[in-house]
Amino acid sequence: MSLHSTVCPRNCYSTCSFKVHVENGRIVNMEPHPANRATPAGVCLKGLSYFERAHSPDRILYPMKKTTGGGFERISWDEALGTICGRLNYFKDNFGPHSILFYESSGMAGMVNDFSSKFWEMFGGATTTYGNLCWPAGLEAVRLTLGENKHNVPWDIENAGLIILWGKNPVETNIQQMIFIEKAQAKGAKLVVIDPRRSLSSERADMLIQPRPGTDAIIALAIAAELIRNGWVDPGFIDRNVLGFEDFKCTVKDLTLEKAADVAGVPVELLKQLSFYVGNLKPMTIAPGYGMQRFSNGGQTIRSILALNILTGNIGKPGACFHYANLQSYVFDRVKEPLSYYPSMDSDGVFRRGVSKAKLAADMVRMKIPELKMIWVERGNPVAQNPDSNATLKALRKLDFRVVVEQFLTDTAAEADIILPAKNMFEQTDIIGSYWNPYVQLKPKILEPDGEVKPETEIYYLLAQKLGYSKEEISKWLPEPGDENIQTYLKQRMKDFPELQWEELMDGPVLAPGLEEIAFSDQNFKTPSGKIELKSDLAKTLWGVNPLPTYEELIEGEERHKKEFPLQLLSPNTKNRIHSQFGNLDIIRQFAPTPTLEMSSSDALERGIADGEMVRVFNARGEMKVSVKLNFSIRKGCVSYYNGWWLSEGGSPNLFSRGRETDMGHGSAFHDTLVEIEKVK
């Protein structure tokens, strides 16, 4: 039996370190890794499911091609690569390389993913995607205001006197954070949760506020006005560090808690109590979730909430933090922040035509000269996870050829002409950063791939050979097959950081070079003015929004929309999935075998719907039938359907979302989504 230190590479806050026991080529045990102070309790249920995920009988282990009957049959690698090579050459010669769309997403993190884009650059270019489905509106909001995205180390939160989970539910989505929150509570800290749902995290809270979705900015701005009126601000901090306070003060001076309470649909007494907490309980940490910035007003909402930390001086001190994203461990990334524009040329002058991830379906269809003819998908499941699933399906089916690199038969893989088997996390060495904890971590190869699985780097290498590139040409772009070559590449990249030693990484997580445990403790802000920019001219220049934080009504929240579709669809993340991953595994299915829609009992009563009945959920973009679960934990006027369900499992919430970008950062405004529900007769 062998023991290995490794790290979970999923798109998750925690990025847990753990140790894996391997015997006879199979994982037989896992245990926490004590060297990671951020994840001392070990992996979650999804992490434990790696036992099954790594060796699942449903895993795709061989190249597959679609049959005339719509199923799939096993083929050889030679046939698969030969077919793909023929199509690549045909489309490139007849329509140009930009007739091919390369789509990748966040299914597995790691530095080795960079080689995918290198292949397409070697090929002569491709149509690629820009933007991000996850968090860019918030990233851009923080970058514009503070200069960069970083926050205090996770364990610092236990020093807070007030913790506000604003649209975040760490009991399900960031379970390790609860360890430090509970330590803070044991020391007397107050915990406030702001969420339209009574989430599991709110069960631990001193106060729960359930606003109308998308109104968080007006709540924050009204509290800011109340802080200013009562003198609950830090004038010294503001004078030294803040640009635009006087303009901000003028903008919010007439905004009252009563007005915000009316718009948000919450008791004004709760806002008064929260205002007192924010102004008087120190130090304060606000931890906003990523869901709020997935509205059309998402960037301005994050800027408005961040203003509360700024006014009270809760930046750069122990226990005082805006806990959104920490990119300090992304030391190898060329670009650590979201681009404020979409570049039409890459660094080597190869043209990249771009389609927006948020508007994928519409952009794919509108591409002309050349039209898109082929797509290559890896590390993603756009049919289920991109907005407007029906439109995405139509756009995919309009193409002449589809290649999907996958571990399981997802909704997107089911649309492929060729499926190539993807590696799992244990089958290739890589280095992983985290957007929550401050560690750089090594994910070593500890298993030989099952069946005929090949890492994506090897797939690209073999495909380049098939395309006729010489070994010398390929070596400029891609490593030769073999994990030892991947390790050589990673070690070469590490030479710029002598603090990182390979042997140490083999033993466990290493704190990122240059780590600032208390973010912005040096009061150094990398903005144009060198100060915190409460007023940002760049916000207007780059994104066309007000230079100051403002509240804007949701695009799909206007009354004219609500007459036909009066219910706001929430699609929160669940502890049982990382987006559309893990839910197909038996260990997960025992806890969530089928999808359900959560609905307020009062909304159900108005429609004659009883608990457990089948309902039809619909809007102008799609519909599905699902069983309903009634409760009093969700705000009236809202319904909730967990993110991550596949169409083949009953339906994705993206059947109802529109391809719409956020106000900044090229994010996706998933949550501007209204539906209606009726009983199935």
SS3 per-residue string spanning 618-656: ECCCCEEEEEEEEECCECCCEEECCCCCCHHHCCCHHHC
> Token pair of 373, please?
């003819």
Sign of the alpha-carbon torsion through 90, 400, 121, 86:
negative
- Phi/psi region, residue 288 (left: phi>0; alpha: psi -120 to 50; beta: rest), is beta
Closest CA to 124 of 101, 95, 102, 92: 92
CA triple 47-493-335, angle to 5 deg: 75
110 CB contacts (<8 Å, ≥6 apart)?
9, 430, 431, 432, 443
Q: What is the pTM of this model?
A: 0.95
Closest CA to 197 of 207, 185, 208: 208
Q: Decide if 589 contacts 644 (C-beta within 8 A).
A: no
Domains and CATH numbers, the chain: 2-55 (2.20.25), 64-125+356-432+439-511 (3.40.50.740), 136-328+519-543 (3.40.228.10), 555-679 (2.40.40.20)
Closest CA to 46 of 585, 644, 576: 576
In eight-state DSSP terms, residue 253 is T
Classified as helix, coil or strand, 303 is helix
Residue that is written with structure tokens 């050459």 in the block: 89
Q: Which residues pair with 130 in a beta bridge?
A: 356
pLDDT of residue 141: 97
pLDDT of residue 172: 93
Closest CA to 417 of 379, 377, 457, 390: 377
In eight-state DSSP terms, residue 105 is -
C-alpha 62/C-alpha 628 separation (Å) is 39
Burial code (b: 16+ CB inside 10 Å, e: under 16) for 436-463 equals bbbbbbbbbbbbebbeebbbbbbbbbbb
C-alpha 670/C-alpha 661 separation (Å) is 9
pLDDT of residue 77: 98
The answer to whether the bond into 283 is cis (omega within 30° of 0) is yes
pLDDT of residue 340: 41
CA torsion 348-352-358-363 (nearest 10°) is 170
pLDDT of residue 348: 42
625 CB contacts (<8 Å, ≥6 apart)?
614, 615, 616, 617, 651, 680
Sign of the alpha-carbon torsion through 117, 122, 123, 125:
positive
Q: Decide if 412 contacts 404 (C-beta within 8 A).
A: yes
Q: Decide if 509 contacts 441 (C-beta within 8 A).
A: yes
SS3 per-residue string spanning 184-229: HHHCCCEEEEECCECCCHHHHCCEEECCCCCCHHHHHHHHHHHHHH
Question: Pairing state of beta strands 596-600 and 623-631?
Answer: parallel
Q: Give me the amino acid identity at 626.
A: V
Rounded (10°) angle between helices 216-230 and 245-252: 110
Average pLDDT for runs of 10 along the chain of length 681 = 92 93 90 94 89 92 96 98 98 96 92 94 93 93 97 98 97 95 98 96 96 97 98 98 98 97 97 98 97 95 98 98 95 60 41 83 93 97 96 97 97 97 96 95 95 97 97 95 96 94 96 97 96 97 97 79 87 90 90 93 95 96 96 93 94 96 95 95 80
In eight-state DSSP terms, residue 679 is E
C-alpha 593/C-alpha 587 separation (Å) is 10
pLDDT of residue 349: 43
CB-neighbour burial class of residue 186 (10 A; exposed 0-12, middle 13-18, buried 19+): exposed
Classified as helix, coil or strand, 569 is strand
Report residue 273: phi and psi, to 5°.
Answer: -65, -40
In eight-state DSSP terms, residue 155 is G
Report residue 185: phi and psi, to 5°.
Answer: -60, -40
Strand order in the sheet with 17-23: 2-7, 17-23, 26-32
pLDDT of residue 352: 55
- Phi/psi region, residue 178 (left: phi>0; alpha: psi -120 to 50; beta: rest), is alpha
Longest dimension (CA), the chain: 73
C-alpha 231/C-alpha 275 separation (Å) is 12
CA triple 679-680-681, angle to 5 deg: 105
